[in-house]
Structure 1
Amino acid sequence: MDLKPQAIRERTARVDELWAGLSVLADVDGPRSMPYSDFQLRLGQRGFGTGCAGRTQARLVELGLAEQLGLVLMLTDAGDRAFLRGRQGLDAILTPA
């Protein structure tokens, strides 16, 4: 995919916005209620610890971040991966760490 500099900047800003939103979950829930080692959020080549995909989905919805970030969380049938898709083209995959 050949992105122009403006598109790259917008995508990078969107990734940073998503990570900031997910960081709120850590502040609210703490590590005991959200096991960060269970899942990793992969955005392109970047990987961040998040937590259980189901809990992440629930907290994003509860905190209004899913709507704010324009995200939809979709779990695979196996339940071991989840896909975050943004309205503005940001895709992320939650996979077991």
Structure 2
Amino acid sequence: MNGATSQGVVLALLEELNDRHIPRLLKLKDKVEAGECLDDFDLRFLKDAIETAEEAKALVHQHPELNDLAGQLFHLYNHITDQALKNERAD
């Protein structure tokens, strides 16, 4: 992948994160912090988001400026899944 193509992919990824993933993840975070359980739709979105993050690892490796963002997203995924599991066990 050349530099221009790589930059375009990064911009598309950031746009998708900003427009779709992060707002939805923050809603899931609020939901689990309120003690609610995730429904099938929420779980599917979370699974897809984590798979997308796994696929983007190589891109993050090529663009170290994305490391902080990737770390914050990983922390958010982890927080949501940990809290969702606690909520399921308490249910």
- Fold shared per TM-score above 0.5: no
* Bigger proportion of residues as helix: 2
TM-score by length of 2: 0.36
Instruction: Return the index of the structure with the highest Cα Rg.
Output: 2
TM-score of the pair, normalised by structure 1:
0.35
